[in-house]
Amino acid sequence: MVEKALLLDLDELSEKYKEFIQFYTDESGEPIYRKSLGQMIEDQRNSLNVDWEHLYNFNSEFREIAEDIIIHPSAHMKAGSAALKDLVSDLLGDLVREDRYRIYSKGRFHLRFYNIPTKASLRDVTKFSIGRLVEIGGIITRVSAIYDKLVRAVFVCTNPECGRIESVDIIGGKFRPPERCPECNSPMRFDHELSEFVRWRSVRIQERPEDLPPGMMPEHIDGVLLDDLVDEVKPGDRVKVTGIIRIKPARGEERGSEGPIYRRYLEVIHADVPNRIYEKLEITPEDEEDIWKLASKDGLEELIVKSIAPSIFGWIEVKRAIAYALFGGSTKFLLDGSKVRGEINILMVGDPGVAKSQLLKYTSQLAPRGLYTTGKGSTAAGLTAAVVRDSTIGGWTLEAGALVLADRGVACIDEFDKMNEDDRRSIHEAMEQQTISIAKAGIVATLNARTTIIAAANPKKGRYDDYVSIAENINLPPTILSRFDLVFIMKDRPRPEADNMVAEHILITRMGRNPEAKPPIDPPLLKKYIAYARQNIDPILTEGAARKIKEFYIEMRKPSVSSEEEREPTFETIAITPRQLEALIRLSEARARMHLRKEVTEEDAERSIQLVKIMLEGASYDVVSGMLDITGLMTGVSFPAVKRRELVFQMIRDLAEESEDGTVDRELVVKKAAEKLNLEHKEYVIEDILRKLNEDGLIIFPPGGKIRLLEG
């Protein structure tokens, strides 16, 4: 049962392919396929890739052959493989007597066609006939383990006198084992060692997030990879695959039986993993001209900032930070082989209803390779990756989460604090090393997650509490918090003047009469501009910029040194840490890249410093003491807060020593502590501290408004 190819039978077709491989030359007269055949043998590989257009343009006869490939792909694969096998034997000649070449030349060979004219979108695959060859683009989300697929079953007669061998080629899924030996009528036994298997792996190819029509669920199709192709792809890869449309019974996961319902899959014959390509965004020479014209505009930065979610009023510095993150800094590879990420991570923490979600959604549309998701993620893999059971693909499969899918792109993650426990453990690696390692159920893999993260989180008590640190405000450990370059606190506090403006802005925008709600830069152009800058511009730090950053760094660390005499030495305030230094470099690079400049100027450094200062004022300003402090961000407890707590505790101890029964009057403690800390009218801060001391098991509250120390 061999499929009939157009006009020619398989042997004739095979001869044609030999002719093509040997004699095709490109424009400069290079016999490119003869050369790659030589290389294939040298590397002992088994596949030769053929550009379909080359076949089509070889000569008039090949035009028909090429057209027929689309309709009868299996026959052509077979003929092509036979041709390749013959050529390999011919070329090896006497060398075949050597062991390694003998085994190699007896292996399977594949002529793999790519760049075919039938390009389908994942949504359209169902419109093509079964058996057709199509090319689709997508992203690999799941990968099964490698299995062996039986392609030739061999049976041996169980009668030792007879020993007859029968072999059956497996075409399609099913085959009939010979029950009795045709010679002596004894039972036959399936022989594993004599039978032939190929490596088999199933993958899930899903629509790329950026191709997804807004609000739609991504479509997917399973693909089967055979033989040497099984090693080609991993989750998160953006691929272009060429494959034959096949069907198999849709085994109802719940029914476990076969019905008349079938599901399509692709038997992949070629897989291309284009690397640094923003495949959807073609930048034409005209676009390039527009991009450079835009770059030379006065006030470019403000134009870009204003083009981010223009319907949202205010939050200019947050938008600026997002703009910098969209461009990103340069990734550096150090001499010792380690890597410093260039991607900028931003977190917005804030009250409900301050437009965090809106900002994220808008950003995900604007970013090349942007993706919007929530901390819970849209699949079992969540934000990072997971090993899950999949009955359609088979057994345990590795599934990529949002950060892997947005590799080399921007992941906008809402409700970041709601991520699952597995993600909480693996996100540290993802945010700094930009890889995700997984080892579970026999699957061991490291996936790339070179992803810019723009995230939003809500305070756990509903509203942001000024009197505790950021880490205490949200449900995230400081280890994760510290991996954000910038953390913005977005508070919704009534301010009549601003409220008036926001209301005005929202109302006239809704009425369609707000000129400011229109982005000054057309979003498609801005998207291309960002993609172009990210691909082509890699700014380097100049001496001047480096000096500025260093000066700021030293200046910011100073207060902790100079104030030592005034305060107990244990309570130093550290305003800024080395992580912020790296963040500053990234931000400065991003600003240079935004201007399509190859050098990071002093101005870039100054602007980034300004942004960090504004961020620090919001994020680390200790409202109670008025001191700038970032340790709260890093350790979860801000230093002035620690100091206050120590002081209150010490006060209770002193008072308890003086008292007769060891208890202290609660009101008295609150009053005295508030006086000492200049917190009159803010007594609730002290109450808060008392509550925490109680939670930590250091004090208890006996009846009668008392406090007693729990010592021991």
Q: CB 506 → ligand ADP: shortest distance, Å?
A: 5
Residue 48's nearest CA partner among 113, 136, 133 is 113
* Contact residue for ligand ADP among 314, 395, 544, 662 (CB under 6 A): 314
User: Which residue's CB is nearer to ligand ADP, number 163 or number 352?
Assistant: 352
Report, in Å, the least distance between residue 508 CB and Mg ion: 23
Interface with ligand ADP by CB under 6 A: which range of 107-115, 308-316, 463-471, 572-580?
Answer: 308-316
For residues 235 and 217, is the Cβ–Cβ distance under 8 A?
Answer: no
Nearer to Mg ion, 357 or 446 (CB): 357
Least Å from the CB of residue 373 to Mg ion: 13
CA 56/CA 69 separation, integer angstroms: 10
Q: Does 500 engage in binding with ligand ADP (CB under 6 A)?
A: no
Beta-carbon contacts of 361 under 8 Å, excluding residues fewer than 6 positions away, are 372, 412
CB of 482 to ligand ADP, least distance (A): 23
Select from 126, 185, 358, 650 the one that contacts ligand ADP (CB under 6 A): 358
Q: Indicate which of Mg ion, ligand ADP, none lies near residue 73 (CB less than 5 to 8 Å, by partner kind).
A: none
Q: Which does 412 bind (CB under 5 to 8 A by kind): ligand ADP, Mg ion, none?
A: none
Residue from 238, 320, 505, 644 touching ligand ADP (CB under 6 A): that is 505
Residue 366: CB minimum distance to ligand ADP, A: 16
Considering the complex, state which of residue 509 and residue 694 has its C-beta at the smaller distance from ligand ADP: 509
Minimum distance of ligand ADP from residue 500's CB (angstroms): 12
Partner whose footprint covers residue 314, from ligand ADP, Mg ion, none (CB < 5 to 8 Å by kind)? ligand ADP
Please name every residue paired with 295 in a beta bridge, in sequence order, or none if there are none: none
Cβ closer to ligand ADP: 320 or 356?
356
Q: Which residue, 88 or 354, is less far from Mg ion as judged by CB?
A: 354
Pairing state of beta strands 220-226 and 196-206?
A: antiparallel
312 binds ligand ADP (CB under 6 A): yes
Contact range with ligand ADP by CB under 6 A, out of 191-199, 306-314, 437-445, 555-563: 306-314
Q: How far apart are CA 236 and CA 61, in angstroms?
A: 41
Stretch that binds ligand ADP, among 127-135, 350-358, 530-538, 690-698 (CB under 6 A): 350-358
- Which of the listed partners (Mg ion, ligand ADP, none) does 313 bind, with a CB threshold of 5 to 8 Å by partner kind? ligand ADP
Which of 151, 506, 637, 651 is in the footprint of ligand ADP by CB under 6 A? 506
The answer to whether the CB of 135 falls within 8 A of the CB of 116 is yes
By CB under 6 A, tell whether 502 contacts ligand ADP.
yes
- Give the separation between CA 315 and CA 501, rounded to whole angstroms: 13
Q: Which residues of 29-43 are buried (b: 16+ CB within 10 A; e: fewer)?
A: eeeebbeebeebbee
358, interface contact from Mg ion, ligand ADP, none, CB < 5-8 Å by kind: ligand ADP
Segment interacting with ligand ADP (CB under 6 A) among 24-32, 127-135, 499-507, 665-673 = 499-507
Rounded Cα–Cα distance for residues 687 and 180 (Å): 89
Q: Which stretch binds ligand ADP (CB under 6 A): 12-20, 151-159, 498-506, 557-565?
A: 498-506
CB of 401 to ligand ADP, least distance (A): 22
**Least distance in angstroms from the C-beta of 216 to ligand ADP:** 21
Of the pair 38, 352, the CB lying nearest ligand ADP is at: 352
Q: Which does 502 bind (CB under 5 to 8 A by kind): Mg ion, ligand ADP, none?
A: ligand ADP
Asked if residues 250 and 259 have their Cβ atoms less than 8 Å apart, the reply is: yes
Which one, of 346, 635, 646, lies nearest residue 470 by Cα?
Answer: 635
Contacted by 659, from ligand ADP, Mg ion, none: CB < 5 to 8 Å by type: none
Among 52, 56, 313, 327, binds ligand ADP (CB under 6 A): 313
Nearest by Cα to 427 from 413, 442, 408: 413
Interface segment toward ligand ADP; rule CB under 6 A; list 23-31, 277-285, 356-364, 583-591: 356-364
Q: Which stretch binds ligand ADP (CB under 6 A): 345-353, 395-403, 514-522, 699-707?
A: 345-353
Q: Cα–chain-centroid distance for residue 675?
A: 52
Residue 445's φ and ψ, nearest 5 degrees, are -155, 155
Query: If phi over 0 gives left and psi between -120 and 50 gives alpha, with beta otherwise, what is residue 390?
Result: beta
Angle at 531 between CA 530 and CA 537, to 5 degrees: 80
**The token pair that represents 603 in the structure block:** 């101005």
Token pair 């000066």 is at which residue? 551
CB 415 to ligand ADP: min, Å: 9
Q: What span, in angstroms and rounded, lies between the C-alpha atoms of 325 and 343? A: 7
Measured from the CB atom, the residue of 415 and 606 that comes closer to Mg ion is 415
Q: Contact region for ligand ADP (CB under 6 A) — 20-28, 241-249, 310-318, 635-643? A: 310-318
Q: Does 610 bind ligand ADP (CB under 6 A)?
A: no
* Least distance to ligand ADP, CB of residue 492, Å: 8
Residues that bind Mg ion (CB under 5 A): 357
Single out the segment in contact with ligand ADP by CB under 6 A; choices: 142-150, 355-363, 600-608, 614-622. 355-363
CA-based nearest residue to 154, from 173, 168, 164: 168
Q: How many CB atoms lie within 10 A of CB 134?
A: 23
Amino acid at 63: R
Map residue 220 onto helix, strand or coil.
strand
Helix (H) or strand (E) holding 610: helix 602-620
Q: Which two tokens stand for residue 600?
A: 């990071």
Q: How far is the CB of 367 from ligand ADP (least distance, A)?
A: 17
356 binds ligand ADP (CB under 6 A): yes
Selected from 181, 229, 308, 355, the binder of ligand ADP by CB under 6 A is 355
The number of helix segments (H) and strand segments (E) in the chain equals 24, 27
| Residue 354 makes contact with ligand ADP by CB under 6 A | yes
In whole angstroms, give the CA distance from residue 508 to residue 512: 6
Residue 627 and residue 640 in contact, taking contact as beta carbons nearer than 8 Å = yes
424 near ligand ADP, judged by CB under 6 A: no
CA-CA distance, 369 to 710, in Å (whole number)? 56
List beta partners, residue 446.
437
- Residue 295 interaction partner, one of ligand ADP, Mg ion, none, beta carbon < 5-8 Å per kind: none
How far the first Cα of the chain sits from its last, in Å, is 86
Min dist. Cβ of residue 459 to Mg ion (A): 12
- Which residues 6+ apart lie within 8 Å of 603 measured at CB? none
∠ CA 304-307-313, nearest 5°, is 120
| In contact, 44 and 8? CB cutoff 8 Å | no
| 290 or 465: CB nearest ligand ADP | 465
- Give 274's contacts (C-beta < 8 A, 6+ positions apart): 238, 239, 240
Nearer to ligand ADP, 331 or 475 (CB): 475
Stretch that binds ligand ADP, among 196-204, 352-360, 575-583, 659-667 (CB under 6 A): 352-360
Identify which range of 133-141, 258-266, 312-320, 668-676 contacts ligand ADP by CB under 6 A.
Answer: 312-320
Handedness of CA 378, 382, 387, 389 (dihedral sign): negative
> DSSP 3-state assignment of 207?
coil
Query: Cβ 315 to ligand ADP, closest distance in Å?
Result: 6
Question: CB of residue 461 vs Mg ion: minimum separation in angstroms?
Answer: 16
State the burial class of residue 528 (Cβ atoms within 10 Å of its Cβ: 0-12, 13-18, 19+): buried
Residues that bind ligand ADP (CB under 6 A): 312-314, 350, 352-358, 502, 505-506
